[in-house]
C-alpha cells in the first residue's frame, strides 16, 4: 500500500455513546496529523472510496470496495450474549477481514494462538495524554480519599475482597471512599455503604459528568481498580480505567489476575496488584501511609503510559496495521 492512503474509521457509536465516539475521533485526528487522509463514518454510511477501513463493533459481510483492505478493531466485540471467546471469534470465519486489531496486548497473544486467517496486530484505541496534576494535588484536609471510577456494572467488583481490605485500612487511617460512577438511577451513599458492608469507611458518591470527573479524580490520594479477571471477558477488555487514572497523576492499586492490568503493571512494578482482602489492605495502606510510595508509583505509571499510549507509539502501531513500516 502506498504512503498516504485514504483511511476510514467506521464506528457504530451514536450521540448516546459520546465517550467511545470521541475515542474514534481522536484516532482519526492522529492519523490526519501524521499525514494520512482520514475520516470517521457511521456503520450506516460507509463510503466506498477508501483504501482501508477500520471497523469498530461491526463485522462487514463483504468489502466496501473489492480491493480495499479491511481491518476489524476488536474493542468490545463481545456482545454480552456469547458464552465463550471462541464463540465470539467464530463470527470472523464468514467475514472478509485482512487484519484483526485487538485493543490489549494479552488479547493479541490469545488471538495469535488461535491461528486465525487474518493477521493480528495489537493497537490501542487512541493515544492518551499525560495531564500534569493540579498545583494542590493531595494531601488535602480531612480523610484520605480512595477513589473508584467505573460503570454501575463494574461497581460489583468493589464488593467482597476490595471492600474488606478498605475496611481494615480504616482501622488504621481515616478513609473516604469516593465512588465516581454513572448509576442509571439515583442512589444514596448509605445504600452504597450497606451494599459494600462498610462501617468505618466513609462513602461519597459523585455522579460522572464529562465536565466534572477530571477535577474529582485529581483530588484522590489513590485509585482502587477492582475488575473482571479469570474469564474470557477479562481477556478481551483493555485497562481504560487504569490509563485514565494514570493520565491524571493518580497512583493506582489494580486487580491481580486481570490480563491487561497485569501486563500494564509489569508484574506490579508500575502499580501494585491485589486479589484477596489482605493484598488490598496492604497495598492501599502502604500507598496512603507513604507519600514517596505514591509519587514513585505515579511516576512509573506515567512513564509506562507515555511509552505505550503516547501519540508516537500509537501511531507506529497503526502504521504496522496498514503495512506502512
Count of C-beta atoms within a 10 Å radius of residue 197: 11
SS3 call for 80? coil
SS3 call for 15? helix
How high is the pLDDT of residue 118? 81
> pLDDT for 101-133, tens place per residue?
888 888 888 888 877 778 888 888 778 877 766
- The set of cell numbers assigned to 244 is 485514565
CATH number 1.10.30 is the correct assignment for the domain at 6-127+310-321 = no
> pLDDT for 52-99, tens place per residue?
999 887 778 788 898 999 998 876 565 554 556 666 666 676 678 888
Give 79-84 contacts, CB < 8 A, sequence gap 24+.
Answer: 84/232
Domain with CATH 3.40.50.2000 in the chain: 144-308
Q: How far is CA 133 from CA 137, 220, 271, 292, in A?
A: 6, 11, 18, 16
CATH number 3.40.50.2000 is the correct assignment for the domain at 144-308 = yes
How high is the pLDDT of residue 16? 44
Amino acid at each position: 500500500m502506498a504512503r498516504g492512503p485514504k483511511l476510514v474509521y467506521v464506528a457504530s457509536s451514536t450521540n448516546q455513546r459520546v465517550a467511545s465516539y470521541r475515542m474514534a475521533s481522536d484516532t482519526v485526528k492522529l492519523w490526519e496529523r501524521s499525514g494520512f487522509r482520514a475520516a470517521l463514518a457511521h456503520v450506516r454510511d460507509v463510503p466506498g472510496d477508501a483504501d482501508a477501513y477500520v471497523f469498530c463493533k461491526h463485522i462487514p459481510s463483504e468489502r466496501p470496495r473489492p480491493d480495499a483492505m479491511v481491518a476489524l478493531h476488536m474493542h468490545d466485540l463481545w456482545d454480552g450474549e456469547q458464552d465463550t471467546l471462541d464463540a465470539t471469534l467464530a463470527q470472523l470465519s464468514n467475514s472478509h477481514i485482512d487484519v484483526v486489531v485487538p485493543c490489549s496486548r494479552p488479547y493479541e497473544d490469545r488471538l495469535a494462538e488461535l491461528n486465525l486467517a487474518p493477521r493480528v496486530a495489537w493497537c490501542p484505541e487512541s493515544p492518551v495524554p499525560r495531564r500534569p496534576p493540579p498545583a494542590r494535588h493531595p494531601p488535602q484536609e480531612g480523610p484520605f480519599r480512595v477513589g473508584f471510577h467505573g460503570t454501575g456494572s463494574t461497581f460489583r467488583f468493589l464488593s467482597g475482597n476490595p471492600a474488606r481490605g478498605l475496611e481494615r485500612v480504616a482501622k488504621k487511617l481515616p478513609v473516604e471512599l469516593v465512588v465516581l460512577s454513572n448509576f442509571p438511577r439515583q442512589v444514596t451513599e448509605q445504600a452504597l455503604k450497606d451494599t459494600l458492608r462498610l462501617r468505618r469507611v466513609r462513602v461519597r458518591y459523585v455522579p460522572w459528568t464529562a465536565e466534572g470527573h477530571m477535577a474529582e479524580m485529581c483530588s484522590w490520594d489513590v485509585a482502587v481498580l477492582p475488575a473482571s479477571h479469570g474469564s474470557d471477558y477479562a481477556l478481551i477488555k483493555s485497562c481504560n480505567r487504569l490509563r485514565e487514572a494514570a493520565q491524571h497523576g493518580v497512583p493506582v492499586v489494580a486487580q491481580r489476575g486481570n490480563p491487561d492490568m497485569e501486563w500494564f503493571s509489569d508484574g506490579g512494578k508500575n502499580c501494585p496488584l491485589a486479589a484477596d482482602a489482605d493484598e488490598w489492605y496492604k497495598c492501599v495502606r502502604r500507598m496512603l501511609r507513604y507519600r514517596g510510595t505514591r509519587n514513585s508509583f505515579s511516576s512509573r505509571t506515567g512513564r509506562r503510559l507515555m511509552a505505550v499510549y503516547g501519540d508516537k507509539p500509537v501511531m507506529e502501531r497503526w502504521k504496522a496495521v496498514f503495512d506502512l513500516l
